[in-house]
Amino acid sequence: MPIDDLLVFHQLTRSLTSSFDLDTILRTILEHMEKTIAAELWTLLMLDEKTQTLHYALATGGEQAALKDLRVKVGEGIAGWVVEHGETLIVPEANHDPRLAQEGTARPRRVRSVIALPLRGRKGTHGVIEIYNPRSAQMTDYSIAFLHILADHAAIAIENAHDVARIQQLTITDDATGLYNVRHLYDVLEHELERAQRRNKPLSLAFIDLDRFKLVNDAHGHLIGSELLAKVGQSMQERSRKQDWCFRYGGDEFVVVLPDTSASRALEIMRTRLQQLMSSRFVMKSGLELTISASVGLATAPDDGTDVHAIIGTADTRMYQAKSNGRGRLWAK
């Protein structure tokens, strides 16, 4: 292996093992691969397993902005073919290859040749690197083999980043409901309060307690109770705005953080969500249908405080006021 290639390989592997941030890893891959073969355009596509489509995560030459909204289906185009088959595709003469017509405008105006390599790890193919119009003198067996080595190490780094992200997600997620847990609540709320204060914006928090939930466990058992909690959490998440945060506080208690939301707006939003929650019929796996009631307390920063404990404590106190005044209602200032 020539010393220049050895240095590229060493720099790439060192960079990949120094970070678990996926964006950093992808940029590192593209930067180092560009040093291997000169080409008119490099693109790096990542696979969305749920939709079975590829999106352009990175591209050289200022093309990324133009490509960010494009999607390539698995099985279509050059990249889609590579993911479907898990194999490298080399197209030395691209004029008559119909797969090029299936990838929209994501290429130079005149495509003469293409190399597309799968980012294939232990758990499958995660993406594709496309090299458009590489210099013909560089398309040797050695160059292609060296690209494969780099791509294999890149795939391992991507899988490691995914694994770390999954572990991090598990540490902040409640097992029963899939919502964020109370540990993450304190971190998020502290960050959001600082952000609200810095931008001079309000922040509201809703503390939600399911009324007489113990009766569900007593009548139907804890498995049904856990299933109902999960469905309630899912319902809250689905009805939340993009900027809202939903948490399971513990037991049958939930918290919703509403950034950039005044007390009056939070009252309006949570009143609607409470009505929707109480009018819902939750169907269990057994076919059993259950309804639920809840009491909600609201607090808003900065009027009700500017720190985590003050906001949560005020909302919690008002939730108990809602319970004391008949349950199934919302209590605010």
Average pLDDT of the residues in 33-58: 83
Find the helix or strand (DSSP H, E) in which 121 lies. Answer: strand 114-121
Q: Which residues, 6+ apart, have CB-to-CB distance to 51 below 8 Å?
A: 71
- What are the structure tokens assigned to 317, written together? 């106190």
* HSE of 161, CA atoms in CB hemisphere, 13 A: 20
SS3 (DSSP) at 141: helix
Of residues 234 and 49, the one with the higher pLDDT is 234
Lowest pLDDT segment from 92-101, 279-288, 290-299, 318-327: 92-101
- Pairing of the two strands 203-210 and 124-134: unpaired
Look at residue 133 in the predicted model and tell me its pLDDT: 85
Average pLDDT of the residues in 189-217: 96
pLDDT digit string, tens, across residues 121-141? 888 888 898 888 887 766 677
pLDDT over 80 at 61, yes or no: no
Look at residue 213 in the predicted model and tell me its pLDDT: 96
Look at residue 221 in the predicted model and tell me its pLDDT: 95
The DSSP secondary-structure symbol of 68 reads T
Rounded Cα distance between 155 and 18, Å, is 15
Average pLDDT of the residues in 60-67: 67
pLDDT digit string, tens, across residues 88-125? 988 877 776 777 765 554 554 577 888 899 998 888 88
pLDDT over 90 at 296, yes or no: yes
Rounded Cα distance between 143 and 139, Å, is 6
Q: Are 289 and 258 in contact (CB under 8 A)?
A: no
- What are the structure tokens assigned to 121, written together? 């790890």
Full-model pTM: 0.62
The owner of tokens 């109902």 is: 228
Q: Kindly indicate the confidence band of residue 309, based on its pLDDT and cuts at 50, 70 and 90.
A: very high
Q: Kindly indicate the confidence band of residue 17, based on its pLDDT and cuts at 50, 70 and 90.
A: low
DSSP state string for 31-94: HHHHTTS-EEEEEEEEEETTTTEEEEEEESTT-HHHHTT-EEETTSHHHHHHHHHTS-EEES--
The backbone torsions φ and ψ at residue 83, rounded to the nearest 5 degrees and listed phi first, read: -65, -45
pLDDT over 70 at 16, yes or no: no
Look at residue 288 in the predicted model and tell me its pLDDT: 96
pLDDT digit string, tens, across residues 170-201? 788 998 899 999 999 999 999 999 999 999 99
Q: Are 83 and 118 in contact (CB under 8 A)?
A: yes
The DSSP secondary-structure symbol of 87 reads S
Q: Kindly indicate the confidence band of residue 300, based on its pLDDT and cuts at 50, 70 and 90.
A: very high
Rounded Cα distance between 72 and 45, Å, is 9
Q: Which residues, 6+ apart, have CB-to-CB distance to 120 below 8 Å?
A: 86, 126, 151, 152, 155
Look at residue 59 in the predicted model and tell me its pLDDT: 80
Mean pLDDT score of the chain = 86
Helical ranges in 86-180 per DSSP H: 141-171
Q: Are 193 and 311 in contact (CB under 8 A)?
A: yes
Q: Kindly indicate the confidence band of residue 50, based on its pLDDT and cuts at 50, 70 and 90.
A: confident
Look at residue 15 in the predicted model and tell me its pLDDT: 60
SS3 (DSSP) at 66: helix
Q: Are 82 and 89 in contact (CB under 8 A)?
A: yes
Q: How many CB atoms lie within 10 A of CB 69?
A: 9
- The percentage of the chain sitting over the pLDDT mark of 70, rounded to a whole number, equals 87
Find the helix or strand (DSSP H, E) in which 128 lies. Answer: strand 124-134
Q: Which residues, 6+ apart, have CB-to-CB distance to 48 below 8 Å?
A: 54, 55
